[in-house]
Structure formats: structure tokens, C-alpha cells
Amino acid sequence: MPSCWGCCRSPWLEVVSITCWVCRYNDLHVFELQEPTRVIEWIGEKSVCVAGYENSRRNEILQLLLPQKLYVKEKQGLCPERDFKVERGGFSDHPVYGLRHVPDTSLLVTSGPPDSSLQVWQLAAEDTASSSSEEVSGLEFLDCNTLLACCVKGQLCLADVRQPQSPLGDASVPSALSGEQWCMGVSPGLQGSDVNAPTIARLSSGGQLTLTDLRNIPKPLKSAKCKVSAASPSAEFLCVSWAPVLDGCLAISGFNGTVHIYDTRSWPESGGEAEPLFSHKGHIFSGMDNGSDFPLVTTHAWHPWKPKMLLSAASDGSLHVWDWAKYHRNS
């Protein structure tokens, strides 16, 4: 059996444990945030934003510069910067449940309880945008003017920010699933295209995944039941995201301490239960080694160009960067 020590030898990594499960990864970097986050949003190719979600106090929004080793595209020797650095930050009076970067700008849009308002941020400036009557679970800018929102009840709303009171379309979920809570993820690479509209993945608290093409909102493309042991214990942490590089692959989290990867191309048209390609259980092992209860994964995000690398965060404050080694594509 190969040694487990090789990928954990660098002293700058705070590795909770060195066990044989590490050998399943090409890279695994473990960091600790001061406070847990339920959002990870890319800002360009070198930075990510995280934010607190506590109800009892002000929550910090931070833009973090990744360690140099994680954003260089070519192999290089020693990297002088070996940890995250805070580039800028601020405080929100709301818990931050959703955070999106407006493409080609320095603006961030956030949402969170106790109401359905949206906050627009630019450095230290803050303004409030118009809001819907339903609580928002997900936001995505398709271009500089078009905003897609997903409500907790599963409805999709496509709107032009130049005419915020005039939604362009709406899609509801099947009545059989109307009692569940939902989140969404938008496929990358096709945003803003008039020819190929992005595919929307909606994930329910019961583990149901539904794919929708914005060119034909009323008719879902595919649906499947994810292989989860039970419904999400805290639907506010549901997260689904598309892989930027691996065609048809997406990741889900929020049901336990695991992140599951799925290949939607292998799903049958008739639906049914889907098997994950890979499951990251590193947060569970971290919790076991610390002697604490199993943490819940609060969010995850794909690396912009490294096909199998993701970041994931958990309720215990752990932040993992991982690149899984085993990958099998169904043909």
C-alpha cells in the first residue's frame, strides 16, 4: 500500500489526521475559518468570498486570496504564499445565506433572513435592491442585466434588473414535491448565450434533483433521486453546483458531512435513483478525530479550471480543498 504521508508532508497544511483515506486524492488541503460559512463564491481566478450565517450577531463578509500553489496553472517550484490572505471585507447585519458576484463588476449581491431583501455591496458601500414576496434560496446573474432567482418553494424567476418588477418567466415544481425546500445551480460556460441557454439544476431537501432548460421552462429535461440516507436536517445548507470543466457533472451537499458528485448524462429519461461518481467524506473523518459530533457540510464550490478539484466547508469551521483521484465516466 502506498504511503499516506506524501501528500501531507508540507508543514503549512493544518491536517487534522493522516489516515489511509487521504490516498484517494491527488491534492487535499485543510484550512480552518474563524467562523463557519455556507457560501463560497469565486471572484476571478485567484480569490473566493466567504461569509457568516449566524442570526445572533453581525456577520463578516471576506474576500480571500487563495494560496499561490492553488491558482498557478503550470507546475512551479516553491510558492512563497502558502495560506489564504484576506484581501478585503465588511460586515452584514443579515446572516448571509446566498452570495453572488456580478460578472465584470466589483459588486456582490447577498440575501438572508429575516426577510427576502437583497443587498448589493461594493467595497464599503451598501444598497438595497428590489425583492420578491417569496424567500430566495439562490441567485445567479446570467449576464449583466438578467438575474435568475430560485425560491425556497422551488419556483424559478427570470428577471431583467432594468425592469425589476417585470419577471420574464416562472417555473414551479411538481405538486408531489411542493412540501420540500429547494435550491438551484446554473451550468457554467453558457451564461449569457442566446443560442445555448444554461441548464438549471434544482435540489430538494428530500434529495430530488430536477434539470431545466431555460428555453423550455415548463418541461423538465431530467430528474433523479439522489442516494441520500435521509432528508436534509437543515435545508438552509442545501447546495448544488455544476462542474465548470466536466461536462454533465454536478455536486450536491447539505444532507450530512458528505459531498456527492453525479454524472447527469448517465441518468435514464424515466428518472429513478442515481448513483454518485464520488463521495467526499473528509469532514466526517475530521469530526471523528476531534471527538466532536459529525459536522454538516454547509457549502461547496468547484475550481474554475481544475476538473476534479473542489472546496467544501462545514459547520465545525473546517474548509477543505480536494481533488479526487478515482473518476469513472459512464459511456
Looking at this protein, which amino acid is placed at residue 295? P
Domains plus CATH for the chain?
Answer: 6-321 (2.130.10.10)
Q: Which tens digit of pLDDT belongs to each residue from 158-184?
A: 777 666 555 555 566 655 566 788 899
Rounded distance, CA 119 to CA 117, Å? 7
CB atoms near residue 230 (< 10 Å): 9
At 14, the pLDDT band (50, 70, 90 cuts) reads very low
What's residue 13's pLDDT?
A: 40
What's residue 192's pLDDT?
A: 41
What is the rounded radius of gyration, in angstroms, for the C-alpha atoms of the chain? 19
CB of 151 within 8 A of CB of 131?
Answer: no
CB of 313 within 8 A of CB of 298?
Answer: yes
pLDDT of 130 over the 50 cut: no
Quick one: residue 154, left, alpha or beta (phi over 0 = left, psi -120 to 50 = alpha)?
Answer: left
Pairing outcome for strands 167-171 and 259-263? unpaired
CB atoms near residue 234 (< 10 Å): 14
Percent of the chain's residues with pLDDT above 90: 20
pLDDT of 146 over the 50 cut: yes
284 phi/psi in degrees, rounded to 5: -65, -45
Pairing outcome for strands 85-92 and 41-43? unpaired
Flag the least confident range among 124-138, 150-164, 228-242. 124-138
CB atoms near residue 68 (< 10 Å): 16
Looking at this protein, which amino acid is placed at residue 254? G
Q: What is the chain's mean pLDDT, rounded?
A: 76
Rounded distance, CA 281 to CA 302, Å? 16
Q: Which tens digit of pLDDT belongs to each residue from 179-226?
A: 788 899 998 754 444 445 788 999 999 999 999 887 777 778 889 998
User: In DSSP terms, which residues pair with 241 in a beta bridge?
Assistant: 251
**And the C-alpha cell for 260?**
456527492
What's residue 30's pLDDT?
A: 73
- DSSP assignments along 286-297, one per residue: HHHHHTSPPP-E
CB of 297 within 8 A of CB of 323?
Answer: no
Looking at this protein, which amino acid is placed at residue 54? E
Flag the least confident range among 75-89, 146-160, 273-287. 75-89
CB of 169 within 8 A of CB of 218?
Answer: no
User: In DSSP terms, which residues pair with 44 in a beta bridge?
Assistant: none
What's residue 190's pLDDT?
A: 41
| Grid-cell match 477543505, residue found | 320
At 312, the pLDDT band (50, 70, 90 cuts) reads very high
At 236, the pLDDT band (50, 70, 90 cuts) reads confident
| Of residues 298 and 125, more confidently modeled | 298
User: In DSSP terms, which residues pair with 157 in a beta bridge?
Assistant: 149, 170
What's residue 249's pLDDT?
A: 94
